[in-house]
Structure 1
């Protein structure tokens, strides 16, 4: 059943009105936090009702310059990973990356400015945000107790053997319509037509590969999140995933908060590059949110116009 795949998976596999692939892998971002650092600082653990104001306040309390300790770490190399961390905040604030027709950038909206202002406040004003300009230090600094929180995916959980961690969904913006959202990077199986004789065999293979029983076996064997909602809602599967790697079940449940995907346009790499550089310039204190986003939007529109 096509509707057994999560909505964002189906959207990522569709260009225009044409399905071009079948979901193969899904993930998402959530908060991973060091329980001991929270307890030592007297900060309550994150809850599903957290707002970004709560998150910011907690990060400030968890920051200790004398110890070289920060509340939160974010990739700050301007790559797609930087953009990945910003986009859920943009969506939660009520914004989007492109217009509905994918013709123009709209991330420089009021919502976009609000989201980037949050990062500016934490990086420049509070100095509670560790800017990882190499995008290589997240798990290492978490394990050493130098960072209290990461916004990351299930792939990092196995890299945190030295701490007692918890996992919680992303904060939301109080009063905004976006609620608690996250972002996923669905990968697809794509089958190319290699002749009529092999066409049906390929179809049969993909159906078998993505059938619920195979998805369940694959998830339990690899630790990857199940691509089918029916498997993700199976409490036996969730229990076993959590036994293997604590916190994985929260990421599975968080798939229900994946409401959108990044634009499926060929110019997206150019858009991401412009937006990533804008985000970093603001977090480094070199630019203001509105000006940086306006400049990035102009670059994105230029790329889109050249299609």
Structure 2
């Protein structure tokens, strides 16, 4: 079966003081139809840049190389007409912060209606009925007054539900959710994740979940791609990745989960921080923070360690 989304040797750089600084270095992965895949890692790992690159949303300042194909159609450097046909229709995006992603001077009804007008070409009366249906689908009131409200009149959880309604308006085949529960309290987080899971089942969507929250990965995803400093550190089925990690970075991440530690114990922390773009070693970028690092780690790219569908890149694998 052909993968719905194929990313091959994706490289993304930005100009800084006249020099190209690499943010993503040779990332490759597939997303199958109906599958949920996590892009996971700390801030600065390249997750969001990778996700935005798949639908060419980084703008003209980004220098993108490699290949991203959706259902056989190339997305990198595709013309505007092709991108407009795919974005919002075949591929939808839920952004990190709905307050800055929603238009503050447009009603939520008008914002949901845009996709219906552009892609489904529904007349005004049918469009209004469909907007109400979508609001009800995501658990919001669907009376006329709700359609005429502005984003500032909604809570954070309600705004995120509006974002999901916009994303689902055209029943996309692929949903990309970039930190969809950021800045929400834990109760609303659970509701949003349950809603996304329910919509996945209802519409048969594939989903790319961008997150730093391993609990979200364990609960919602089939496979996980662990990124670090712009590269893939490890990829595999979620149960294998949590049960027997290969890369020492994945092992360290799993070790910070409360469930992996005795009740009441102080949670371990990973020392240091992700090295910034432009200041990364030639070998494994995690070497400076890794207590299991070998002399070779910082100077040479780590080799592939494969266990069936589970693969990592490490000189001194965890297990």
Q: TM-score range by the shorter chain?
A: under 0.3
The structure where helix makes up a greater share of residues is: 1
The structure where strand makes up a greater share of residues is: 2
Q: Greater RCO between the two (CA within 8 Å, min separation 6)? A: 1
Q: TM-score scaled to structure 2, two decimals? A: 0.26
Q: TM-score scaled to structure 1, two decimals? A: 0.27
